[in-house]
């Protein structure tokens, strides 16, 4: 990769420390970029709705994980430290602005455009008599039997309301059955009820007419309170802090402690309250008091309080022309169908670029190992596998066939804890050796090691990846899988598995950089080395692709290197705290974010010192937690042809993208690129889909 024509001369004197960007505001800015896909008219209509839902899902997780510290500071009126009253207010204002944009797009653009395509969400006021009768029957048959309204009084306190559940608050008039005047009631809506209900075509007058569950309940609230008059009411949803934490130093059985902790996750501290836009101040204030929230934590929304559940509508509508063309990944190009993986890897390493090439190649590698009688042992890490049982079924089959199976299951993978506990118990019950990593660290590394008897020797084969062993997300995330029989690399992987099992000291590693031991230090040393070379007049280059850049030591190392003349391009999908192109400070650093049809997930780090090139794939983002509180891997791709392939597909293509790319300005704002003049626009993901023979998107 060539260096730019002009290189910033080294500064004459040390620059003052540059103020970094705020991490939480950077996360919200990322969601603004995702929301842009819902605005784009070149995106199929139902996919635009899906992106709107993705933003809502992202915001839910943001509040569940990131909001509590700001809220606590506000409640304590703390004006010192990272989290303060002011930080809460700034963050709340930014979140309110983003939510307002979502609902404006939903109501003013997406709903009318859907109706033009014959897809209608029919409100109660727009339903003719026949539809109202059908909805009434549906309510009494399917909904009312599952609802138990709770009237509040001294013996019926405010009920436990689960995280992100749909509820109604109702203000009643007239005495109850005992002649009392308790006026507030709560109706909790079970999660098992579908949020979008498709009406029969003969009743709706078309195949794609829906009613929302909230509108069905709203239209029949009076039926839940016979003899009372329903006055003010509103749907509401509360978001709670849900980052599960246990004191690992104080538990004897981590799996059991997490299982118990999961029972309380849905009832953590409230951090956000969503109500209907027309909710009265009386009811809103009542709820804020119950959940002990300030007014800025209240979100009045002109529509469903949970846009995430609108993905049900996307799934129910049968309109392929309103969705992305189906993309079918090709068979991995470096694999020969029918050829043994073990024979192929003796010829050299294999790279698989997902989702453009099929993750099925990884499953086939494991499948061959399971069925090969010469394979003696299989070791694998599990971070997220989802509910897809294909990989786990193979591991269980390996155990039953007598192979030694060791699985390192990360029980603390956020929001996948329960699934991972279940998988761990299932594997352990049939005799697999199940490990839970190192106390205080999450095992985020993705690796599989196969040990095979070949003659009188034991030969190792391995798989390393930037992504999870999850067949579903492997169709949606960009990642690199690396299959290898390299003896030095596989020996390192063996050492890591032994370390995770026994907590013994690691020997000197040959090819792996491992967090929390080496990775952070090695990256900073490599960056500093290029800075020294740049000062000496050598042409130097760094291009790093990752999901987030928030580690301050790495950021300052990059800033120093840029000031010494290193040309730096950072492709950071999400949060980035390094301000690019600040005059006299980061002139030599460019930051861009690419938001495409697929979620950018691969981590690729490229360093050039004169004619010497080095490229690493990694499981780690450049965040403090990845460097210090996780077991992470980075490994070098040494084959020149393989290295160039990664450079071309994961770096050059994304630096040339002017469809889905956003460039950062010095103040941390992003501007989406547009092709200049008549030059044909370049989209990295679309080009890769076309290269691998699939159907492209926008």
Confidence of residue 384 (pLDDT cuts 50, 70, 90): confident
From 220, 444, 499, 601, active-site residue:
444
Which residues, listed in sequence order, are joined to residue 240 by a DSSP beta bridge? 270
| Cα 418 → chain centroid | 17
The per-residue pLDDT for range 672-690, each reduced to its tens digit, is: 998 665 456 789 999 999 9
CA gap 447, 456 in Å, rounded: 26
Q: Which of 507, 536, 564 is the last residue of a domain?
A: 507
Domain boundary among 507, 534, 559: 507
Measured between its terminal Cα atoms, the distance across the chain in Å is 27
* Residue 38 lies inside a defined structural domain of this protein: no
Do 175 and 221 belong to one domain? yes
Confirm whether 340 is domain-assigned.
no
> What is the domain-level CATH number for residue 663?
3.30.870.10
pLDDT band at 386 (very low <50, low <70, confident <90, very high): low
Residues 393, 293 share a domain: no
Please check whether residues 311 and 436 belong to one and the same domain. no
Render pLDDT for 407-449 as a digit per residue (tens, 0 to 9): 888 766 555 566 667 777 777 777 788 887 677 788 889 999 9
Asked whether residue 665 falls in the same domain as residue 609, the answer is yes
Residue 66 and residue 274: Cα distance in Å, rounded? 17
Q: What is the CATH number of the domain that holds 181?
A: 3.30.1840.10
Is 121 part of any domain?
yes
Residue 15 lies in a domain: no
- 482/551 same-domain check: no
Helices 85-105, 23-39: axis angle to 10 degrees equals 0
pTM: 0.91
Known catalytic membership, residue 140: no
Residues 300 and 391 in one domain: no
User: Are residues 234 and 311 both part of a single domain?
Assistant: yes
The boundaries of the domain holding residue 583 are 515-691
Residues 239, 163 contacting (CB under 8 angstroms): yes
Q: How far apart are CA 374 and CA 292, in angstroms?
A: 62
Closest CA to 57 of 284, 301, 239, 191: 239
- DSSP states of 503-570: -PPP---SSEEEETTTHHHHHHHHHHHHHHHHHTT--EEEEEEES-B--HHHHHHHHHHHHTT-EEEE
Q: Which of 582, 535, 570 is nearest to 15 (CA)?
A: 582
500 & 526 share domain = no
Residue 28 falls inside a structural domain = no
389 within some domain: yes
Extract the runs of DSSP E, i.e. beta strands, from 445-525: 446-454, 457-465, 477-484, 512-515
pLDDT of 615 reads 98
Answer yes or no: do 611 and 530 share one domain: yes
How many structural domains compose the chain? 3
Residue 240 sits in the same domain as residue 172: yes
pLDDT number for residue 6: 35
**Residues 243, 364 within the same domain:** no
Q: Is the pLDDT of residue 263 over 60?
A: no
**Residue 13 belongs to a domain:** no
Last residue of a domain, one of 507, 532, 557: 507
Residue 3 is assigned to a structural domain of this protein: no
Q: Are residues 183 and 238 in the same domain?
A: yes
């Amino acid at each position: 990769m060539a260096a730019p024509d002009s290189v910033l001369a080294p500064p004459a004197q040390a620059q003052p420390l540059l103020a970094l960007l705020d991490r939480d505001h950077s996360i919200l800015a990322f969601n603004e970029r995702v929301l842009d896909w819902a605005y784009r008219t070149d995106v199929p209509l139902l996919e635009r709705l899906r992106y709107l839902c993705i933003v809502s899902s992202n915001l839910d997780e943001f509040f569940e994980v990131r909001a509590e510290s700001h809220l606590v500071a506000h409640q304590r009126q703390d004006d010192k430290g990272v989290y303060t009253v002011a930080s809460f207010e700034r963050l709340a204002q930014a979140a309110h602005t983003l939510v307002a944009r979502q609902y404006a797009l939903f109501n003013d653009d997406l709903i009318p455009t859907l109706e033009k395509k014959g897809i209608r969400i029919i409100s109660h006021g727009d339903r003719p008599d026949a539809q109202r009768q059908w909805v009434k029957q549906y309510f009494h048959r399917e909904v009312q039997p599952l609802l138990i309204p709770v009237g509040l009084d001294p013996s019926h306190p405010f009920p436990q309301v689960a995280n992100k559940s749909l509820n109604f608050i109702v203000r009643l008039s007239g005495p109850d059955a005992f002649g009392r005047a308790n006026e507030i009631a709560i109706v909790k809506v079970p999660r098992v009820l579908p949020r979008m209900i498709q009406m029969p075509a003969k009743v709706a007058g078309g195949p794609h007419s829906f009613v929302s569950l909230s509108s069905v309940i709203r239209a029949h609230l009076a039926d839940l309170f016979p003899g009372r008059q329903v006055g003010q009411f509103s749907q509401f949803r509360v978001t709670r802090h849900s980052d599960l934490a246990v004191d690992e130093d104080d538990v004897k059985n981590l799996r059991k402690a997490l299982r118990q902790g999961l029972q309380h996750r849905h009832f953590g501290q409230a951090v956000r309250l969503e109500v209907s836009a027309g909710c009265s101040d009386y009811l809103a204030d009542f709820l804020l008091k119950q959940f002990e929230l300030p007014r800025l934590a209240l979100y009045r929304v002109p529509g469903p309080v949970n846009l995430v559940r609108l993905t049900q509508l996307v799934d129910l509508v049968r309109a392929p022309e309103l969705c992305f063309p189906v993309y079918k990944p090709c068979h991995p190009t470096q694999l020969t169908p029918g050829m043994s993986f073990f024979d192929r890897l003796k010829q050299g390493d294999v790279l698989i670029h997902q989702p453009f090439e099929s993750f099925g190649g990884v499953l086939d590698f494991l499948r061959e190992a399971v069925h090969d009688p010469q394979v003696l042992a299989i070791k694998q890490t599990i971070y997220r596998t989802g509910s897809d049982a294909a990989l786990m079924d193979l591991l269980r089959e390996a155990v039953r066939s007598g192979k030694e199976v060791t699985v390192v299951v990360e029980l603390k993978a956020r929001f996948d804890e329960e699934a991972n506990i279940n998988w761990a118990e299932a594997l352990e019950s049939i005799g697999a050796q199940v490990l839970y990593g190192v106390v205080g660290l999450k095992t985020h590394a993705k690796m599989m090691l196969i040990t095979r008897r070949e003659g009188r020797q034991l030969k190792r084969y391995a798989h390393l990846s930037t992504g999870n062993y999850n067949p579903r997300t492997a169709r949606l995330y960009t990642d690199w899988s690396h299959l290898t029989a390299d003896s030095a690399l596989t020996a390192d992987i063996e050492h890591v598995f032994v370390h995770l099992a026994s907590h013994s000291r690691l020997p000197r590693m040959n090819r792996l950089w491992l967090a929390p031991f080496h990775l952070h230090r090695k990256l900073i040393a490599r960056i500093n080395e290029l800075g020294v070379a740049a000062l000496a007049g050598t042409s130097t280059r760094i291009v790093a692709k990752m999901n987030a850049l928030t580690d301050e030591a790495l950021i300052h190392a990059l800033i120093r290197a840029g000031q010494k003349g290193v040309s730096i391009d950072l492709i950071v999908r999400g949060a980035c705290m390094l301000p690019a192109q600040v005059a006299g400070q980061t002139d030599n650093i460019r930051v861009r974010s690419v938001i495409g049809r697929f979620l950018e997930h691969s981590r690729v780090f490229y360093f050039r010192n004169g004619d010497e090139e080095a490229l690493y794939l990694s499981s780690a983002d450049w965040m403090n937690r990845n460097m210090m509180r996780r077991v992470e891997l980075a490994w070098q791709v040494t084959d020149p042809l393989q290295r160039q392939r990664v450079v071309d597909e994961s770096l050059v293509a994304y630096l040339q993208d002017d469809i889905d790319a956003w460039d950062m300005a010095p103040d941390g704002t992003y501007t989406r690129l547009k092709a200049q003049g008549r030059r044909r626009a370049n989209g990295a993901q679309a080009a890769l889909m076309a290269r691998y023979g699939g159907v492209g998107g926008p």
